[in-house]
Structure 1
Amino acid sequence: MRRPSLLAAALALACNASAQTLIDNANGYTLDASGKLARFQALAFDAAGRIVAVGSSADVAAKAPGYRHIDLQGRTMLPGLIDAHGHVFGLGQVATAAELYGTTSLEGAVRKVADYARANPQRAWVVGNGWNQEIWKLGRFPTAAELDAAVADRPALMHRVDGHAVWVNSRALALAGITKDTPDPAGGKIERDAQGNATGILVDGAMALVTKVVPAATEAEERAALDGALALLGKNGLTSVHDAGIGVAEDKLYRAYADQGKLTTRVYAMIGDTAADFDRLSASGPLTSYANDLYALASVKLYADGALGSRGAALIKPYSDAPHTHGLLFYKDGEMRAKMEKAIKAGYQVNVHAIGDAGNRQILGNYAALLKKYPNVQRHRIEHAQVVALADIPRFKRLGIIPSMQPTHATSDQNMAEQRVGPKRIEGAYAWRTFLKQGSRIACGSDFPIESPNPFEGIHAAVTRQDMRGVPSGGWHKEQAMTLTEALRCFTLDAAWAARQEKVIGSLEAGKWADFIVTDRDLFAIPASEIGKIGVLETWVGGKRVFQKR
């Protein structure tokens, strides 16, 4: 009974401020410069929070005389984990909205919305997230009339699980002025009934018709969302995240939090689009490092298409289960190329959301044209790279484009992906092994809050190709699975590389920031089925402990 209490007492010596510290008796794993797995017993960092030495107890002690000593008592230490694609403020906002992620039927979702509306009478809009008609086995989208049954006195807006469609009630349709005569906007679709009336589902570009009339969050609400998100990120062992699309207000808060010592997870942010916010935020050029690498704003997030679940992802040939549609490309080639060039010319990394094979092909084609003019020093990316024509996969390597992928998307989408694209196209979908075999470096993330922010669930999915219930037995298209070391690398060193931060984070090496986690079990000594159950005991960023399990 003494062992846990001794560990807690030793760790209690570490205060929030960095101090010269030697952590000893660790079951440590990291990656070397070549990405190979390495073991260590001890790690020391200086008062600035940078690593001084990593290795055996004797070697590290010799290089860190007089340092404060913490005995880890054999616990497992790993590099801090990095999520290469998430939505930080969205994660925080989900906690205060109606949550439909766990619903298994339309009726259950309607009950949850009704319960939430009754519990929150002060909210002018009833907002929620996470519905998925595929899991409901509805065979169709839900309707405004069905949402009216849950809340009719106020407008209601429910985001689909992938964030690429909204389900609204009749009050919201009326406030947005959407009628039978409202045309589909560019890059979007209004679902309609046989008479042409809007049914209550707005896909991709059509979502703006209603979201533009939703009151903007106040600064207090944004701060509350950021506080909630940072607490969750620390709890899940994420020492750095790539925030996929922010604006002026979010940038202001990030800088303020960094200045005040409140930014407890490093943030590599992407400016959403190249419109007005980009013009303001890019006036001084890319911000590659702020407040000891706690914040960076050096990339741009663009969208080529929608999502597979709502059939908004752009496909070269029609959907296998809906031959009347190819999905939606948001922009014509020239329009998209102009956006990409504007960002590249200003010195920014370009990260484009592309899920369907037509979306990926369009972006690869634009990169091919632009890189003849501008060298790829920014390490441009395609976010998701979810369904790629087999002939296009080698172009990622040839052009030096990083596939930024989310392992849990595969295990979440397994219930519908092959129906959407058929048995041939699925060979180029969620194709991690194919990318790795050709030498591409994959940056892994989760796309939280669409998926869980727990990176161990992502590592589990990458290795097993199964969801957290162990479905399907043997793994879904297991031939595309990663090894455990590859999975750790894509959530650490290669995610850092995708942000051009591999010299300061991503592994535990002398000179890098002391970003690490302590876990309750050994990642490399447990059955693969238990990876997603690993718990984080401690999260440290720059030599400061930002989370401790109580």
Structure 2
Amino acid sequence: MENPMRPTFLTAAVLAAFALPAHADTIIDRANGYTLTAAGQLQRFSSLAFDDLGRVVAVGSEAETAAALPRAEHIDVQGKTLLPGLIDAHGHVFELGEIASGVELYSPTSLPGAVKAVADFARAHPKNAWIIGFGWNQEIWKLGRFPTAAELDMVVRDRPVLLHRVDGHAIWVNTKALEMAGVTRETADPAGGKIERDASGKPTGVLVDAAMELVNKVVPLPTPAEARATLDVALAQLSKVGLTSVHDAGIKVVQDDIYRDYADHGKLTTRVYAMIGDTTADFDELSKDGPLKSYANDVYALAAVKLYSDGALGSRGAALLAPYSDMPSTKGLLFYPDAEMRAKMSKAMKAGYQVNIHAIGDAGNHQILDAYAQLIPQYKNVELRHRIEHAQVVTLEDIPRFKQLGIIPSMQPTHATSDQNMAEQRVGHERIKGAYAWRTFLDQGSKIACGSDFPIESPNPFEGLHAAVTRQNNANVPVGGWYKNQAMTMTEAFRCFTLDAAWAAHQEKVIGSLEPGKWADFIVVDRDIFKISPEQLGKTQVLQTWMGGKRVYKK
């Protein structure tokens, strides 16, 4: 049944026209400007002109822009560096906003510190029915094991506690949460998931991948007001770090309704290219009219589907072709048998959607490449630019298949620098040669779409640029970089966070660089990222963010 709350295309366009404030023709002067040409070459400029609709008219010298728009208002940025707005090709927008309202577990460096953070939060929020948190990582705590429900029970027994692992592929819960979800020793592991258990078979409090849904399904959904407040928090963060466009990797009907409403009323301060999460009921509802390629002046699009082949490396849910080097009893988890995965992909392709699939382990990537090899010729749709999200551990034999099949590797530079503390332990010296292999992909001619996977990593794209160029974490460790032979050049990193990220969303003709006819999405920053030491990239501060010729953030 048609959703009566979702506006038609005509209604949306009319509303957007009234909602967006009027612009004046504007020229930005005295800029230390950098952009990319359509061919991806770096171009310098000192002045940028855009019209009252928010589209670029001219890029070049001050004389050239003044001639193009002789009656424009002028803004002097006093020699500051001006760049195209940066694009994150893989994030989770609502989840980014949710973190602000939960237990922050990224900071604790030990299990006792994490337990104390939960206790402090519970004490400060006595009315919260559930204690929700984000960011724990047993690898940093050097436990050699997962944490347990018993350790949470010591500080919270009367309310359910649910804590998301840093990679989003495992949850740590207390006994109350297990009881509310009905998870017992008799509960079977679901396909594509695992319940961690003790020697007697009793659940210990950690659920991996598909098993997370056993508890997630009993967590109350946010109210519409809470969801909008969450989005407001996320949008403010994205503008602050200079992101003018993001690809939201997996949404449902409720998020689509909110995005369209925000687009209609001029409240989306970052463009969103959304992917429908899975091909189940939400897809059936959202795909009734086919892919939504552009909405409200390219502010929103819903033209892709997000699927999962496997889990994550940190929780050993990523599917490997051979056993884990540090746990030979497991190869990880493929979420679906080959035939079922192909059926999901086929359903999305048949409806005309770009298919973007999470694959971290070499078995996960191999399964998806095999499926693409069968389905792309069948549907003759290589032009949809299908993607593999993460492409994290890939056999050296499979990497060339990305180029051969026209598959975009959508990769997150900070995953490499975050995972350096455990990745080689997980896969060993040989398999690491095809892991986080940006240089290998670039040298074969693949276009990499860069992102962060926020909130699993920071949404700050300058931290991503830093990781891409140095192969170091924010503390510039290790000295010389981790497998530095796979690093990008500065221009390559800039391109994968701008033009190539736009290309991965079929938006390279409207955003991704500052060229006449494209939207005036740009940022002003406090340093010249092409001249500073690469080790300083992550410290770059955004001074202004503009989207469609409208300033949406000022420091």
Which residue number in structure 1 is paired with residue 245 of structure 2?
240
The match for 1:51 among 48, 56, 59 is 56
Q: Is residue 35 from structure 1 mapped to residue 40 from structure 2 by the alignment?
A: yes
What is aligned with 1:507? 513
- Residue 60 of structure 1: how far off its partner (Å): 1.4
Aligned partner of 2:12 in structure 1 is: none
Deviation at 1:461, TM superposition (A): 0.1
In 2, distance between residues paired with 1:463 and 1:503? Answer: 27
Q: Partners of 1:470 and 1:238 in 2: how far apart?
A: 23
| 1:302 aligned residue (297, 304, 307) | 307
Within 5 A, what are the aligned runs for 1:313-324?
A: 313-324=318-329
Query: In structure 2, what is the Cα distance between the partners aligned to 1:87 and 1:451?
Result: 11
Q: Deviations over 1:383-418 (max 9, x none)?
A: 000000110000000000000000000000000000
**Aligned amino acid, residue 101 of structure 2:** T
- Residue 255 of structure 1 is aligned with which of 260, 280, 294? 260
Q: Does 1:123 align with 2:109?
A: no
Letter in 2 for 1:385: A
1:396 aligns with 2:402: yes
Which of residues 490, 501, 522 is equivalent to 2:528? 522
Give SS of 2:34's match. Answer: strand
**Match of 1:230, as an amino acid?**
L
Task: Provide the aligned C-alpha RMSD in A.
Answer: 0.8
Question: How far apart in 2 are the matches of 1:18 and 1:294?
Answer: 16
How far, CA to CA, are the matches of 1:121 and 1:273 in structure 2? Answer: 36
2:432 aligned residue:
426
Q: Deviations over 1:415-464 (max 9, x none)?
A: 00000000000000000000000000000000000000000000000000
The 10-residue stretch of structure 1 (57-66 or 75-84) with the greater mean CA deviation from structure 2: 57-66
| In 2, Cα distance between equivalents of 1:16 and 1:428 | 49
Query: Is 1:355 paired with 2:345?
Result: no
2:97 corresponds in structure 1 to 92
Q: Answer yes or no: is 1:342 the counterpart of 2:347.
A: yes
Which residue type is aligned with residue 498 of structure 1? A
Give 2:464's aligned amino acid. Answer: G
SS at match of 2:275: strand
- Of 471, 476, 484, 1:478 maps to 484
1:385 aligns with 2:391: yes
For 2:227 and 2:51, how far apart are their aligned partners in 1? Answer: 34
Q: Within 2, Cα distance between the matches of 1:414 and 1:88?
A: 26
Q: Distance in 2 between matches of 1:159 and 1:426?
A: 26
Alignment equivalent of 2:214, drawn from 209, 214, 219: 209
Instruction: Tell me if 1:449 matches 2:455.
Output: yes
Question: Shift in Å at residue 63 of structure 1?
Answer: 1.0
Q: What corresponds to 1:277 in structure 2? A: 282
User: Which residue of structure 2 aligns with residue 533 of structure 1?
Assistant: 539
Number of residue equivalences: 535
- Alpha-carbon contact 1:16-1:546 (below 8 Å) kept: no
Is the contact between residue 16 and residue 545 of structure 1 (CA under 8 Å) also seen in structure 2? Answer: no
Equivalent of 1:328 in 325, 333, 349: 333
Q: Does 1:489 align with 2:495?
A: yes
Q: Aligned partners of 1:466 and 1:18: how far apart in 2?
A: 42
| Matched residue type, 1:279 | D
Show CA shifts across 1:503-542 (max 9, x none): 0000000000000000011101111110000000000000
Q: Aligned partners of 2:30 and 2:22: how far apart in 1?
A: 22
Query: Equivalents in 2 of 1:93, 1:242: separation in Å?
Result: 17
1:223 aligns with 2:228: yes
2:416 pairs with 1:410: yes
Identity rate of aligned residues, in percent?
Answer: 73
Residue 203 (structure 2) aligns with:
198
Provide TM-score, normalisation by structure 1. 0.97
Alignment match, 1:73: 78
Q: Return the alpha-carbon distance in structure 1 between the equivalents of residues 163 and 152 of structure 2.
A: 9
Q: Does 1:466 align with 2:472?
A: yes
Q: CA deviation at 1:18?
A: 2.3
Report the residue type matching 2:431 in the other structure. R
TM-score (norm 2): 0.96
Distance (Å, rounded) in 1 between the aligned partners of 2:477 and 2:501: 27
Q: Which whole-Å CA distance do the structure 1 matches of 2:385 and 2:62 have between them?
A: 38
Match of 2:187 among 179, 182, 195: 182
1:158 and 2:163 aligned: yes
Distance 2:337 2:117 in 1: 40
Unpaired runs of at least 5, structure 1: 1-14
Take 1:22 and 1:150, find their aligned partners in 2: how far apart are those partners? 58
| Distance apart, 1:62 and its partner CA | 1.1
Separation in 2 of the partners of 1:269 and 1:38?
30
Q: Deviations over 1:175-222 (max 9, x none)?
A: 111111111001000000011100000000100000001111111110
Post-superposition offset of 1:16: 6.3
> Which amino acid in the other structure matches residue 352 of structure 1?
I
1:158 counterpart SS class: strand
In structure 2, C-alpha distance between the alignment counterparts of 1:491 and 1:103, rounded to whole Å? 30
Kindly indicate whether residue 441 of structure 2 is the aligned counterpart of residue 435 of structure 1.
Answer: yes
CA distance in 2, matches of 1:185, 1:282: 28
Q: Whole-Å Cα distance in 1 between the matches of residues 500 and 22 of structure 2?
A: 29
Instruction: Indicate the SS of the match to 1:249.
Output: helix
Q: Is the CA contact 1:246–1:271 (under 8 Å) kept in the aligned structure 2?
A: yes
Report deviation, 1:377: 1.5
Q: Shift in Å at residue 149 of structure 1? A: 1.5
- 1:110–1:147 contact (8 Å) kept in structure 2: yes
Once the two structures are TM-superposed, the CA of residue 144 in structure 1 deviates from its matched residue by 0.2
Q: Which amino acid aligns with 1:506?
A: G
Q: Which moved more, 1:150-159 or 1:533-542?
A: 150-159
Structure 1 range deviating more: 432-441 or 53-62: 53-62
The alpha-carbon deviation at position 73 of structure 1 amounts to 0.9
Q: List per-residue Cα deviations over 1:46-86 (Å, max 9, x = no partner).
A: 00000000011111111111111111111100000000000
**Letter matched to residue 421 of structure 1:** V
Q: Could you tell me how far 1:150 is from its partner in structure 2?
A: 2.3
- Answering whether residue 53 of structure 2 is matched by residue 63 of structure 1, we say no
Q: Which amino acid aligns with 2:31?
A: A
Deviation at 1:103, TM superposition (A): 1.1
The SS at the match of 2:49 is strand
Map of 2:3 onto structure 1: none
Shift of 1:372: 1.3
Q: Distance in 2 between matches of 1:434 and 1:293?
A: 33
SS of the residue aligned with 1:373? helix
1:54 touches 1:510 (CA, 8 Å); kept in 2?
yes
How far 1:17 moved relative to its partner? 4.2
Structure 1 CA distance for aligned equivalents of residues 233 and 521 of structure 2: 21
Quote the Cα distance in structure 1 between the aligned partners of 2:22 and 2:232. 19
Matches of 2:390 and 2:523, distance apart in 1: 27
Structure 1 residue ranges, 4+ long, deviating more than 2 angstroms after superposition? 15-18
The answer for the alignment partner of 2:9 in structure 1 is none
Provide the rounded CA distance (Å) in 2 between the counterparts of 1:490 and 1:276. Answer: 33
Rounded to whole Å, the distance in 2 between the matches of 1:17 and 1:398 is: 47
